[in-house]
Amino acid sequence: MSTHDELNSSEGTANEGPTHFLKQHIEKDLAAGKVESIVTRFPPEPNGYLHIGHAKAIWINFGLANQFKGVCHLRMDDTNPEKEDTEYVEAIKTDIQWLGYEWFGPVRYASDYFEDFYKYAQELIKTGKAYVCQLTPDEIREYRGTLTSPGKNSPYRDRPAEESLALFAEMREGKHKEGTACVRVKIDMSSPNINMRDPVIYRIRFAEHHQTGDKWCIYPMYDYAHCISDAIEGITHSLCSLEFEDHRPLYDWILDNITIECHPQQIEFARLNPNYMITSKRKLKKLVDGEYVSGWNDPRMPTISGLRRRGYTPGALRKFCEATGVSKANGVIDAGLLEWAIRDDLDSSAPRAMCVLDPIKVTISNYDEDKVENLELSAHPKDESFGKRKLNFTKEVWIDRQDFMEDAPKKFFRLAPGKEVRLRGSYIIKCDEVIKNEQGEVVELICSYDPDTLGKKPEGRKVKGVIHWADVKSSVPVEVRLYDRLFSVPSPEAADENGVVKEFTENLNPESLKVVHGYLEADCAEKLKANPEIGAFQFEREGYFVTDSIDSSADKLIFNKIVSLKDSWEKVK
């Protein structure tokens, strides 16, 4: 069974996939009869695009549900209308389906339960466990205390339930201004867990909601709405990342103090934290709004849509998630592991092609002017089913500038004055003359070829170098976007060697995008013209590349570099 099938098959068994503490926990609950079937959920807030960290959460929640023949809900936790948008909702749905997963039933929204949240808040007020507080937001923060000192009770904490209910109704009717009233639950202002110091569960926001319009002007807080949404939907295991561990007591307190039958179990796992990346939607949005990148789907972004446009595959992301494992402790993941996953995925699936990215013209002096030879190369060296690709060999070809050196050292096995090199799949050529422009730049090489070296070694001499090429007459001009890591340091938000914490945007890698114009072998261009969805190619000796899903067209091919053939980042940096 393939990796895709293992992670996504609803016919799977609990023995499939990697073993980890979440899986063991579910197995134990099923064996003990604590639950009859598994219901998980993926609950993103639609306030930005999903990123690589969400891919891990998707893999966990959907994957575990599938392994145990359960179901996984998709629920938009849309309790903050000021930052949410239907654009994000649609992007989230697209990303999940692209990863290869399907949610159970319709897309759910926390806003579907707004009336329920209101009624449960009324219940908490009636039972003396919640109250309307009229401290200002600044005063609430002041009264909350600190990590080392307890808070103090609000002067409104003991107001009669009837008064709080009336004020709550007025809040719903829009009779109070933003920031002048809120609903808080009555727990313990001296709790060592600040989340339990009478947290706010409702606030006033005169903002139009993407699902409910202007029906509401009061909105529940995430911690309050999330646990009730889980319970309403019959979620058995509420799996979330470690930053919610300190919120679990509030999750349980809310459900323990309202009349609701289901009480899901919250279990936390370590979030995905790759180096050379940030995975905060707020900060990713700052990159977009500040035009540091071209958008949420910029191929340098760690968003799922950005990775998709870059050329990453669903299989590679799932492989990466599995390789990182499921842990109870946060740690840093080497971004090189993600790059390994896509290389491993594309090695067997990407046909080969030759593309000259920094071209120098080579004129073969002893080759007939009008002669054209039709050559063949394997489309994939490890898989004959890919067939052959056709190349034209003519008097003029392009080679890459890095494959020529005028003053070459002894161990430079590519082209140099008086030296020989083989053009991949064709002849051996020798550089006889170097032509430069007025600025002293090399613009053309005059070479001669050995007609007896097609498909065989030259007699009496060794030629070690093999370089790629494209013939001038039939090759196709292309734009190539050479992407690298977005940040130049492993921890973009950490202090530098001098203890200085910079704004994360100051650690952007100025070399993260270079645009070059080169020439692609005609066979590859023809294949793309016949089938634009063909996927990635390996440009020999360069890396893996894919046509840009937005800007590329049949009339103008634009390629994105997915990843190099080898991890040379640390050596270069």
- pLDDT tens track for 59-107: 999 999 999 999 999 999 999 999 999 999 999 999 999 999 999 999 9
Q: Give the DSSP per-residue string, 316-368.
A: HHHHHHHHH---SS--PBPHHHHHHHHHHHHHTTPPEE-EESSEEEEEETTS-
Q: Are 95 and 138 in contact (CB under 8 A)?
A: no
Q: Are 399 and 425 in contact (CB under 8 A)?
A: no
Q: Are 63 and 55 in contact (CB under 8 A)?
A: no
Pairing label, strands 108-109, 71-76: parallel
Dist CA 509 CA 276 (whole Å):
10
Question: Which is more confidently placed, 499 or 310?
Answer: 310
Give, in words, the CATH class of 274-347+477-520+542-573. mainly alpha
Largest CA distance in the chain: 103
Is 179 exposed, middle or buried (CB count within 10 Å of its CB: 0-12, 13-18, 19+)?
middle
**Average pLDDT, integer, range 197-222:** 97
CB count within 10 Å of CB 354 equals 27
Dist CA 436 CA 361 (whole Å):
11
Q: Are 63 and 20 in contact (CB under 8 A)?
A: no
Confidence of residue 568 (pLDDT cuts 50, 70, 90): low
Dist CA 326 CA 386 (whole Å):
37
H or E, element range at 478: strand 476-483
**In terms of CATH architecture, what is 113-223?**
Alpha-Beta Complex (3.90)
H or E, element range at 483: strand 476-483
Confidence of residue 501 (pLDDT cuts 50, 70, 90): confident
Tell whether the model's pLDDT for residue 570 goes beyond 70. Answer: no
Q: How far is CA 66 from the centre of its chain?
A: 22
**Average pLDDT, integer, range 391-418:** 95
Tell whether the model's pLDDT for residue 250 goes beyond 50. Answer: yes
Mind listing the pLDDT tens digit for each residue in 11-49? 334 456 678 999 999 999 999 999 999 999 999 999 999
Q: Is 203 a catalytic residue?
A: no
Mind listing the pLDDT tens digit for each residue in 115-138? 999 999 999 999 999 999 999 999
At residue 406, the 3 state secondary structure works out as coil
List b or e across 518-537, with b for residues whose CB sees 16 or more CB atoms inside 10 angstroms: bbbbbbbbebbeeeeeebbb
Task: Identify the active-site residue in 41, 108, 184, 271.
Answer: 271
DSSP symbol at 194: G
Q: Is 197 a catalytic residue?
A: no
How high is the pLDDT of residue 17? Answer: 67
Task: Identify the active-site residue in 23, 41, 45, 420.
Answer: 45
Q: Is 45 a catalytic residue?
A: yes
Task: Tell me the C-alpha to C-alpha distance, in Å, between residue 186 and each of 109, 143, 153, 176, 263.
Answer: 27, 14, 9, 22, 20
Dist CA 392 CA 520 (whole Å):
12
CB count within 10 Å of CB 538 equals 21
The dihedral over CA atoms of 460, 462, 466, 472, expressed in degrees to the nearest 10, equals -30
Percent of the chain with pLDDT over 90: 91
Q: Are 352 and 379 in contact (CB under 8 A)?
A: yes
Confidence of residue 533 (pLDDT cuts 50, 70, 90): confident
Closest CA to 228 of 92, 106, 337, 123: 123
Would you say how long the chain is, in residues?
Answer: 573
Dist CA 210 CA 215 (whole Å):
11
Q: How far is CA 497 from the centre of its chain?
A: 29
**Average pLDDT, integer, range 191-209:** 97
CATH of domain 353-475: 2.40.240.10
Q: Are 488 and 508 in contact (CB under 8 A)?
A: yes
Confidence of residue 10 (pLDDT cuts 50, 70, 90): very low
CA atoms within 13 A on the CB side of 431: 26
How high is the pLDDT of residue 16? Answer: 60
Phi, psi values for residue 527, rounded to 5° = -65, -40
CB count within 10 Å of CB 17 equals 19
How high is the pLDDT of residue 8? Answer: 38
Dist CA 126 CA 121 (whole Å):
9
Domain boundaries, the chain: 113-223, 274-347+477-520+542-573, 353-475
Mind listing the pLDDT tens digit for each residue in 297-350? 999 999 999 999 999 999 999 999 999 999 999 999 999 999 999 999 999 999
**pTM (2 decimals)?**
0.92
Only one residue has tokens 């592991």, namely: 337
At residue 125, the 3 state secondary structure works out as helix
Mind listing the pLDDT tens digit for each residue in 443-460? 999 999 999 999 999 988
Only one residue has tokens 């007591």, namely: 249
Mean pLDDT of the chain: 94
**Average pLDDT, integer, range 140-145:** 96
Dist CA 506 CA 63 (whole Å):
38
Dist CA 482 CA 514 (whole Å):
5
Mind listing the pLDDT tens digit for each residue in 167-180? 999 999 999 999 99
Task: Identify the active-site residue in 75, 281, 308, 395.
Answer: 281
The dihedral over CA atoms of 254, 260, 262, 264, expressed in degrees to the nearest 10, equals -10
